């Protein structure tokens, strides 16, 4: 029986941040209960049509911790009607949206990992990006998460934010060393269309870091995080040994996962699908007992191979050459000899029984991926 993950999207939040282009809706309390009822219908439709084992759950958003915990209980109660053997169960949360009662309910539901959207410990930077919490609130919530009994804590932190400089980033790093999370996602700002920052940038009103400075800062972070046991295992992800994200590895290893909720994406047996990002359409389709899928793409062998290369090279372990040959029936080093030779002399790769990016190669990986695509 196939083992799959489940991604569940909760699109509600208190305030939409300036960099956000996700399906997230602030102050739409009247939609929360009907949305949850529709989400439960969607889960039931999958359960009626599929016989799988759920082995990981990731509740993302939006801000899942923004909604009343009784709704999380209802949703998870329905998911648990699948056969399940949960290895990792993550909920995203933002500082200021948690309390001890919620955390204890999460823990009792089987949630064993909290991913907290800290973004920065610099209050001025937090204000610049539209966050509604302070560094002090984030630290308080981290302490509360641990007090509630969670032993697997991840932070999200960001680089290249307006008002952020090397000194600010070093202060963030100092807080990481002090607070000792099990996992960190430390990623650079992306100006996604639909976000406030995208519009400001188009108007020339957004001042960001020089590209070379950003690369230098991130290189420094990689070295410093390694010293405290946070090993880089993917381009933007660092973890203590044994705390790498089980669920996220499903995406990178092309394993199956259900996408539940508006704007969620799923991947099952080489079929990738996307749900509608529109709340009204989501409501209409589920009221008609239809899955809210608006797009399906069958991933053929050629596309699967290219995606596999990109996903695996994003991980520090790289591509196992024997595994690649068993999977696709070709020698990776021979098939892609031209692309590899173009970058190998520049120090992009280490090659033994696997091929992996060096630190330099990881920073410039998109240049190689363009050649593959």
Q: Are residues 333 and 192 located together in one domain of the fold? A: no
Map tokens 């430390």 to a residue: 186
Instruction: Examine the domain organization and report whether 29 and 130 are in the same domain.
Output: yes
Q: Which residues contact 334 (CB under 8 A, 6 or more apart)?
A: none
Q: Is 90 exceeded by the pLDDT of residue 184?
A: yes
Task: State how many domains the chain has.
Answer: 2
pLDDT above 80: residue 1: no
**Between vectors from CA 276 to CA 274 and to CA 279, what angle results, nearest 5°?**
150
Note whether 366 and 245 are same-domain residues: no
As a whole number of angstroms, the distance between CA 21 and CA 42 comes to 24
The reported pLDDT for the residue numbered 365 is: 86
Identify the domain containing residue 346 by its residue range: 301-372
As a whole number of angstroms, the distance between CA 337 and CA 350 comes to 14
Digit-coded pLDDT (tens) for 323-348: 999 999 999 999 999 989 888 888 89
Whether residue 193 sits in one domain with residue 62: yes
Query: For 216-223, what is the mean pLDDT?
Result: 95
Type and span of the H or E element at 172 = helix 166-179
Establish if 284 belongs to a structural domain: no
93 part of a folded domain? yes
Does residue 276 lie in a domain region? no
Query: 113 and 216: one domain?
Result: yes
CB 62 within 8 A of CB 13: yes
Domain of residue 220, CATH code: 3.20.20.70
Flag whether pLDDT at 280 surpasses 80. yes
* pLDDT score of 236: 95
The structure's pTM equals: 0.95
In a domain, 277, yes or no: no
Say whether both 209 and 318 belong to one domain. no
Task: Check whether residue 233 and residue 310 sit in a common domain.
Answer: no
**C-alpha separations of 234 from 4, 230, 248 in Å:** 21, 12, 10
Determine, yes or no, domain membership for 229: yes
Percent of the chain surpassing pLDDT 90: 82
Mean pLDDT on 161-185 = 96
Last residue of a domain, one of 252, 283, 313: 252
Q: Are residues 183 and 34 in the same domain?
A: yes
Q: CA-CA distances (angstroms) from residue 208 to 59, 162, 181, 200, 320? A: 31, 6, 27, 11, 38
Residue 46 in any domain: the answer is yes
SS3 state at 277: coil
Closest CA to 38 of 221, 266, 279: 279
Query: Are 232 and 317 members of one domain?
Result: no
273 within a domain of the structure (yes/no): no
Pair 248, 333 in one domain: no
237 and 340, same domain (yes or no): no
Residue 198: the pLDDT is: 83
- CATH of residue 348's domain is 1.10.10.920
Chain segment 33-70, per-residue pLDDT in tens: 999 999 999 999 999 999 999 999 999 999 999 999 99
Whether the pLDDT of residue 373 is over 80: the answer is: no
Report yes or no on 283 lying in a domain.
no
Domain shared by 244 and 324, yes or no: no
C-alpha 207/C-alpha 192 separation (Å) is 16
Specify which residues 265 forms β-bridges with: 274
194-208, 255-269, 316-330: lowest mean pLDDT where? Answer: 194-208
């Amino acid at each position: 029986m196939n083992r799959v993950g489940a991604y569940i999207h909760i699109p509600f939040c208190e305030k939409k941040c300036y960099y956000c282009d996700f399906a997230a809706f602030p102050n739409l309390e009247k939609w929360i209960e009907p949305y949850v009822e529709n989400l439960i219908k969607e889960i039931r439709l999958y359960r009626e049509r599929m016989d799988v084992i759920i082995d990981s759950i990731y509740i993302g958003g939006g801000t899942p911790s923004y909604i009343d915990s009784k709704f999380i209980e209802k949703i998870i109660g329905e998911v648990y009607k699948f056969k399940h053997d949960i290895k990792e169960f993550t909920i995203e949360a933002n500082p200021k949206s948690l309390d001890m009662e919620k955390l204890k309910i999460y823990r009792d539901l089987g949630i064993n990992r909290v991913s907290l959207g800290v973004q920065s410990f610099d209050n001025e930077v937090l204000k610049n990006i539209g966050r509604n919490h302070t560094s002090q609130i984030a630290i308080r919530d981290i302490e509360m998460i641990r007090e509630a009994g969670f032993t697997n804590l991840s932070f999200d932190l960001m680089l290249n934010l307006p008002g952020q400089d090397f000194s600010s980033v070093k202060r963030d790093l100092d807080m990481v060393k002090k607070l000792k999370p099990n996992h960190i996602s430390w990623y650079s700002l992306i100006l996604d269309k639909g976000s406030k920052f995208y519009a400001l940038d188009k108007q020339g009103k957004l001042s960001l870091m020089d590209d070379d400075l950003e690369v230098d800062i991130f290189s420094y972070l990689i070295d410093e995080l390694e010293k405290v046991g946070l090993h880089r295992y993917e381009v933007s992800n660092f973890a203590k040994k044994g705390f790498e994200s089980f669920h996220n590895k499903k995406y990178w290893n092309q394993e199956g996962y259900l996408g539940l909720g508006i704007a969620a994406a799923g991947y099952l047996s080489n079929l990738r699908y996307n749900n509608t990002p529109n709340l009204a359409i989501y409501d209409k389709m589920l009221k008609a007992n239809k899955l809210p899928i608006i797009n399906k793409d069958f991933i053929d062998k050629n596309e699967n191979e290219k995606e596999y290369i990109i996903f695996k090279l994003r991980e520090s372990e790289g591509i196992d050459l024997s595994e690649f040959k068993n999977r696709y029936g070709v020698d990776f080093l021979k098939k892609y000899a031209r692309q590899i030779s173009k970058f190998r002399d520049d120090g992009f790769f280490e090659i033994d029984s696997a091929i992996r990016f060096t630190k330099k190669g990881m920073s410039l990986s998109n240049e190689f991926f363009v050649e593959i695509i």
